[in-house]
Structure 1
Amino acid sequence: MGLQKSVGTSPAIGVSGQKVVLGQSVYTTMNYLSDGTVKAGTFAFAPAAATTFAENLKTEYVTNKGTGLIGFVERTFTGAGASSETYAQGEALTIAIRGDYYLKAPAGTTPTAGYKVITTDATGAISFAASASTGETDTGWTVTTGGSAGDVIVISNHG
Protein backbone atom coordinates (compact mmCIF):
# COMPACT_ATOMS: atom_id res chain seq x y z
CA MET A 1 0.00 0.00 0.00
CA GLY A 2 1.42 3.35 -1.04
CA LEU A 3 1.52 6.62 0.84
CA GLN A 4 -1.34 9.10 0.69
CA LYS A 5 -0.86 11.42 -2.28
CA SER A 6 -3.31 14.20 -1.43
CA VAL A 7 -5.22 15.67 1.48
CA GLY A 8 -8.67 17.22 1.18
CA THR A 9 -9.05 20.53 2.99
CA SER A 10 -12.85 20.56 3.02
CA PRO A 11 -15.23 18.15 4.72
CA ALA A 12 -17.24 15.78 2.56
CA ILE A 13 -20.54 17.27 1.42
CA GLY A 14 -22.51 14.15 2.22
CA VAL A 15 -23.19 10.59 1.09
CA SER A 16 -26.15 9.04 -0.72
CA GLY A 17 -29.12 8.64 1.57
CA GLN A 18 -27.92 11.13 4.17
CA LYS A 19 -30.31 13.89 5.29
CA VAL A 20 -29.38 17.44 4.34
CA VAL A 21 -31.37 19.00 7.20
CA LEU A 22 -32.06 17.07 10.39
CA GLY A 23 -35.63 16.82 11.65
CA GLN A 24 -37.50 17.83 8.50
CA SER A 25 -38.10 14.45 6.82
CA VAL A 26 -41.45 12.65 6.60
CA TYR A 27 -41.44 8.85 6.62
CA THR A 28 -43.72 6.00 5.59
CA THR A 29 -46.31 4.97 8.18
CA MET A 30 -45.31 1.31 7.94
CA ASN A 31 -41.92 -0.21 8.75
CA TYR A 32 -40.51 -2.08 5.77
CA LEU A 33 -37.79 -4.74 5.51
CA SER A 34 -35.16 -5.11 2.79
CA ASP A 35 -35.44 -8.13 0.51
CA GLY A 36 -31.63 -8.06 0.27
CA THR A 37 -31.43 -5.87 -2.87
CA VAL A 38 -32.22 -2.40 -1.45
CA LYS A 39 -29.38 0.12 -1.18
CA ALA A 40 -29.03 3.26 0.91
CA GLY A 41 -29.63 6.35 -1.21
CA THR A 42 -31.94 4.64 -3.73
CA PHE A 43 -35.67 4.13 -4.02
CA ALA A 44 -37.71 1.27 -2.57
CA PHE A 45 -40.59 -0.39 -4.42
CA ALA A 46 -43.41 -2.73 -3.45
CA PRO A 47 -42.62 -6.36 -4.36
CA ALA A 48 -44.54 -8.24 -7.05
CA ALA A 49 -45.94 -10.63 -4.42
CA ALA A 50 -46.74 -9.92 -0.77
CA THR A 51 -45.00 -11.81 2.03
CA THR A 52 -47.03 -13.38 4.84
CA PHE A 53 -45.65 -12.73 8.32
CA ALA A 54 -46.79 -13.71 11.79
CA GLU A 55 -50.29 -12.51 12.61
CA ASN A 56 -49.23 -9.53 14.74
CA LEU A 57 -46.32 -8.36 12.55
CA LYS A 58 -47.35 -5.51 10.26
CA THR A 59 -44.55 -5.13 7.74
CA GLU A 60 -43.58 -6.01 4.19
CA TYR A 61 -40.44 -6.73 2.21
CA VAL A 62 -39.52 -4.12 -0.40
CA THR A 63 -37.30 -4.38 -3.45
CA ASN A 64 -34.95 -2.14 -5.46
CA LYS A 65 -36.98 -1.95 -8.70
CA GLY A 66 -40.53 -1.92 -10.02
CA THR A 67 -43.48 0.41 -10.49
CA GLY A 68 -44.97 0.55 -6.98
CA LEU A 69 -42.78 3.34 -5.60
CA ILE A 70 -42.70 3.57 -1.79
CA GLY A 71 -40.01 6.19 -1.13
CA PHE A 72 -36.32 7.10 -0.77
CA VAL A 73 -34.15 4.84 1.41
CA GLU A 74 -32.38 6.83 4.12
CA ARG A 75 -28.90 5.82 5.26
CA THR A 76 -28.92 4.62 8.88
CA PHE A 77 -26.20 3.57 11.29
CA THR A 78 -27.72 0.12 11.81
CA GLY A 79 -28.34 -0.61 8.15
CA ALA A 80 -25.86 -0.69 5.32
CA GLY A 81 -22.37 -1.58 6.44
CA ALA A 82 -19.18 0.30 5.67
CA SER A 83 -18.21 -2.12 2.89
CA SER A 84 -21.66 -2.34 1.29
CA GLU A 85 -24.48 0.03 0.49
CA THR A 86 -26.98 -2.86 0.39
CA TYR A 87 -29.24 -3.64 3.34
CA ALA A 88 -29.30 -7.35 4.16
CA GLN A 89 -32.52 -9.32 3.80
CA GLY A 90 -34.77 -8.66 6.78
CA GLU A 91 -32.96 -5.44 7.77
CA ALA A 92 -35.38 -2.67 8.78
CA LEU A 93 -35.42 0.32 6.43
CA THR A 94 -36.10 3.99 7.04
CA ILE A 95 -38.00 5.19 3.97
CA ALA A 96 -38.62 8.90 3.42
CA ILE A 97 -41.54 10.24 1.43
CA ARG A 98 -40.59 13.92 1.94
CA GLY A 99 -37.40 15.80 2.74
CA ASP A 100 -34.00 16.84 1.40
CA TYR A 101 -31.31 14.19 0.83
CA TYR A 102 -27.85 13.83 -0.63
CA LEU A 103 -27.47 11.56 -3.65
CA LYS A 104 -24.36 10.64 -5.61
CA ALA A 105 -25.33 11.23 -9.22
CA PRO A 106 -24.95 7.97 -11.17
CA ALA A 107 -22.47 7.71 -14.06
CA GLY A 108 -23.91 8.82 -17.39
CA THR A 109 -26.45 11.20 -15.82
CA THR A 110 -26.76 14.98 -15.80
CA PRO A 111 -28.43 16.17 -12.59
CA THR A 112 -29.72 19.60 -13.55
CA ALA A 113 -31.44 21.72 -10.89
CA GLY A 114 -35.22 21.55 -11.41
CA TYR A 115 -35.14 18.19 -13.22
CA LYS A 116 -37.24 15.31 -11.92
CA VAL A 117 -35.63 12.26 -10.32
CA ILE A 118 -36.63 9.28 -12.49
CA THR A 119 -36.19 5.52 -11.96
CA THR A 120 -36.14 2.81 -14.60
CA ASP A 121 -38.85 0.25 -13.80
CA ALA A 122 -36.82 -2.79 -14.89
CA THR A 123 -33.63 -1.98 -12.97
CA GLY A 124 -34.38 0.78 -10.45
CA ALA A 125 -31.57 2.88 -11.97
CA ILE A 126 -31.79 6.59 -11.14
CA SER A 127 -31.66 9.29 -13.81
CA PHE A 128 -32.79 12.90 -14.21
CA ALA A 129 -35.08 14.43 -16.85
CA ALA A 130 -37.83 16.97 -17.45
CA SER A 131 -40.35 14.09 -17.51
CA ALA A 132 -40.47 10.28 -17.30
CA SER A 133 -40.73 8.15 -20.44
CA THR A 134 -42.39 4.78 -20.96
CA GLY A 135 -40.84 2.18 -18.63
CA GLU A 136 -39.80 4.84 -16.13
CA THR A 137 -41.29 6.19 -12.89
CA ASP A 138 -41.37 9.84 -11.85
CA THR A 139 -40.47 9.56 -8.16
CA GLY A 140 -41.95 12.94 -7.19
CA TRP A 141 -38.47 14.09 -6.11
CA THR A 142 -36.58 16.90 -7.89
CA VAL A 143 -32.97 17.95 -8.18
CA THR A 144 -32.44 20.94 -5.89
CA THR A 145 -28.67 21.31 -6.21
CA GLY A 146 -27.36 19.92 -9.49
CA GLY A 147 -23.92 18.96 -10.68
CA SER A 148 -22.27 16.35 -12.89
CA ALA A 149 -22.21 12.57 -12.93
CA GLY A 150 -20.39 11.36 -9.81
CA ASP A 151 -21.08 14.55 -7.84
CA VAL A 152 -22.99 14.53 -4.56
CA ILE A 153 -26.18 16.48 -5.29
CA VAL A 154 -29.32 17.35 -3.29
CA ILE A 155 -32.76 15.96 -4.14
CA SER A 156 -35.96 17.23 -2.52
CA ASN A 157 -39.61 16.36 -2.17
CA HIS A 158 -41.83 18.71 -0.21
CA GLY A 159 -45.12 17.48 -1.69
Structure 2
Amino acid sequence: MSHDAEHAPQPQPGSPDPTQLAPKAPRTDSAHAPREPGTGADGPDRPPGPALIPQGDRDKLALRLQQSLATFVDGPRQAVEEADAVLDEVTTRFADTLAERRRVLRTGWQDPDADVQTEELRLALRQYREITERLLHMSVPVGQ
Protein backbone atom coordinates (compact mmCIF):
# COMPACT_ATOMS: atom_id res chain seq x y z
CA MET A 1 0.00 0.00 0.00
CA SER A 2 1.42 3.43 -0.91
CA HIS A 3 1.88 6.19 1.62
CA ASP A 4 -0.91 8.27 0.01
CA ALA A 5 -3.36 5.37 -0.05
CA GLU A 6 -2.49 4.56 3.55
CA HIS A 7 -3.45 8.04 4.76
CA ALA A 8 -6.39 8.67 2.44
CA PRO A 9 -9.73 8.96 4.21
CA GLN A 10 -11.46 5.60 4.23
CA PRO A 11 -15.24 5.35 3.92
CA GLN A 12 -17.02 4.37 7.10
CA PRO A 13 -19.04 1.16 7.03
CA GLY A 14 -22.59 1.89 5.96
CA SER A 15 -21.75 5.34 4.56
CA PRO A 16 -22.40 6.07 0.89
CA ASP A 17 -19.48 5.71 -1.49
CA PRO A 18 -18.29 9.29 -2.19
CA THR A 19 -17.40 8.38 -5.77
CA GLN A 20 -21.07 7.60 -6.36
CA LEU A 21 -22.20 11.00 -5.02
CA ALA A 22 -20.14 13.15 -7.37
CA PRO A 23 -21.75 13.83 -10.74
CA LYS A 24 -19.87 12.31 -13.61
CA ALA A 25 -19.13 14.14 -16.81
CA PRO A 26 -20.72 12.57 -19.86
CA ARG A 27 -18.25 10.26 -21.58
CA THR A 28 -17.70 10.94 -25.18
CA ASP A 29 -15.75 8.87 -27.62
CA SER A 30 -14.29 11.92 -29.30
CA ALA A 31 -10.82 10.50 -28.70
CA HIS A 32 -11.74 7.70 -31.09
CA ALA A 33 -13.37 9.91 -33.70
CA PRO A 34 -11.41 10.42 -36.89
CA ARG A 35 -9.67 13.77 -36.95
CA GLU A 36 -7.72 15.76 -39.41
CA PRO A 37 -4.07 16.31 -38.52
CA GLY A 38 -3.68 19.24 -36.17
CA THR A 39 -7.40 19.68 -35.51
CA GLY A 40 -7.70 17.99 -32.12
CA ALA A 41 -9.67 19.83 -29.46
CA ASP A 42 -6.38 20.85 -27.86
CA GLY A 43 -4.31 20.89 -31.04
CA PRO A 44 -1.72 23.65 -31.04
CA ASP A 45 -2.41 24.73 -34.61
CA ARG A 46 -6.19 24.77 -34.33
CA PRO A 47 -7.50 28.32 -34.22
CA PRO A 48 -10.18 28.91 -31.61
CA GLY A 49 -13.70 29.17 -32.96
CA PRO A 50 -15.63 32.42 -32.84
CA ALA A 51 -16.83 33.49 -29.41
CA LEU A 52 -20.38 32.58 -28.48
CA ILE A 53 -20.59 35.97 -26.79
CA PRO A 54 -18.21 38.77 -27.89
CA GLN A 55 -15.46 39.65 -25.40
CA GLY A 56 -16.81 43.14 -24.67
CA ASP A 57 -20.26 41.77 -23.88
CA ARG A 58 -18.75 39.00 -21.73
CA ASP A 59 -16.82 41.62 -19.77
CA LYS A 60 -19.98 43.68 -19.18
CA LEU A 61 -21.95 40.63 -18.05
CA ALA A 62 -19.13 39.51 -15.75
CA LEU A 63 -18.99 43.00 -14.25
CA ARG A 64 -22.74 42.96 -13.62
CA LEU A 65 -22.41 39.61 -11.89
CA GLN A 66 -19.50 40.84 -9.75
CA GLN A 67 -21.51 43.92 -8.79
CA SER A 68 -24.44 41.76 -7.74
CA LEU A 69 -22.11 39.69 -5.56
CA ALA A 70 -20.62 42.84 -4.01
CA THR A 71 -24.06 44.25 -3.12
CA PHE A 72 -25.38 41.10 -1.46
CA VAL A 73 -24.80 42.31 2.12
CA ASP A 74 -26.71 45.56 1.58
CA GLY A 75 -29.50 44.10 -0.56
CA PRO A 76 -29.55 40.30 -0.74
CA ARG A 77 -32.78 40.04 -2.73
CA GLN A 78 -31.72 42.65 -5.28
CA ALA A 79 -28.31 40.97 -5.62
CA VAL A 80 -29.92 37.61 -6.37
CA GLU A 81 -32.40 39.22 -8.78
CA GLU A 82 -29.51 40.84 -10.68
CA ALA A 83 -27.56 37.56 -10.77
CA ASP A 84 -30.69 35.87 -12.13
CA ALA A 85 -31.02 38.56 -14.81
CA VAL A 86 -27.37 38.14 -15.83
CA LEU A 87 -27.76 34.36 -16.11
CA ASP A 88 -30.94 34.83 -18.13
CA GLU A 89 -29.17 37.20 -20.53
CA VAL A 90 -26.18 34.85 -20.92
CA THR A 91 -28.34 31.81 -21.64
CA THR A 92 -30.51 33.79 -24.07
CA ARG A 93 -27.44 35.06 -25.91
CA PHE A 94 -25.97 31.55 -26.08
CA ALA A 95 -29.21 30.10 -27.39
CA ASP A 96 -29.64 32.86 -29.99
CA THR A 97 -26.03 32.58 -31.18
CA LEU A 98 -26.19 28.79 -31.43
CA ALA A 99 -29.52 28.90 -33.27
CA GLU A 100 -28.08 31.37 -35.79
CA ARG A 101 -24.94 29.28 -36.31
CA ARG A 102 -27.03 26.18 -36.81
CA ARG A 103 -29.26 28.01 -39.31
CA VAL A 104 -26.22 29.18 -41.29
CA LEU A 105 -24.68 25.70 -41.25
CA ARG A 106 -27.91 24.10 -42.41
CA THR A 107 -28.39 26.48 -45.30
CA GLY A 108 -24.91 25.55 -46.49
CA TRP A 109 -25.66 21.86 -46.91
CA GLN A 110 -29.45 21.35 -46.87
CA ASP A 111 -30.31 23.43 -49.93
CA PRO A 112 -31.90 20.86 -52.29
CA ASP A 113 -31.02 22.97 -55.36
CA ALA A 114 -27.34 23.30 -54.48
CA ASP A 115 -24.78 20.83 -55.74
CA VAL A 116 -23.05 20.45 -52.38
CA GLN A 117 -19.53 19.13 -52.76
CA THR A 118 -17.88 16.69 -50.38
CA GLU A 119 -15.44 19.39 -49.26
CA GLU A 120 -18.32 21.67 -48.23
CA LEU A 121 -19.88 18.80 -46.29
CA ARG A 122 -16.53 18.07 -44.62
CA LEU A 123 -16.23 21.70 -43.51
CA ALA A 124 -19.81 21.71 -42.21
CA LEU A 125 -19.16 18.51 -40.27
CA ARG A 126 -16.00 20.03 -38.80
CA GLN A 127 -17.96 23.09 -37.64
CA TYR A 128 -20.66 20.92 -36.08
CA ARG A 129 -17.97 18.94 -34.26
CA GLU A 130 -16.24 22.09 -32.99
CA ILE A 131 -19.43 23.65 -31.64
CA THR A 132 -20.61 20.40 -30.06
CA GLU A 133 -17.23 19.74 -28.42
CA ARG A 134 -17.16 23.27 -27.00
CA LEU A 135 -20.61 22.77 -25.49
CA LEU A 136 -19.69 19.37 -24.08
CA HIS A 137 -16.54 20.86 -22.58
CA MET A 138 -18.65 23.56 -20.94
CA SER A 139 -20.89 20.89 -19.40
CA VAL A 140 -18.08 19.46 -17.26
CA PRO A 141 -18.27 20.63 -13.64
CA VAL A 142 -15.56 23.05 -12.54
CA GLY A 143 -12.50 21.27 -11.17
CA GLN A 144 -12.75 18.18 -13.36
Q: TM-score, normalization: structure 2?
A: 0.22
Higher strand share: 1
* Greater relative contact order (Cα < 8 A, sep 6+): 1
Higher helix share: 2
Q: TM-score, normalization: structure 1?
A: 0.21
Tell which structure's C-alpha radius of gyration is larger: 2
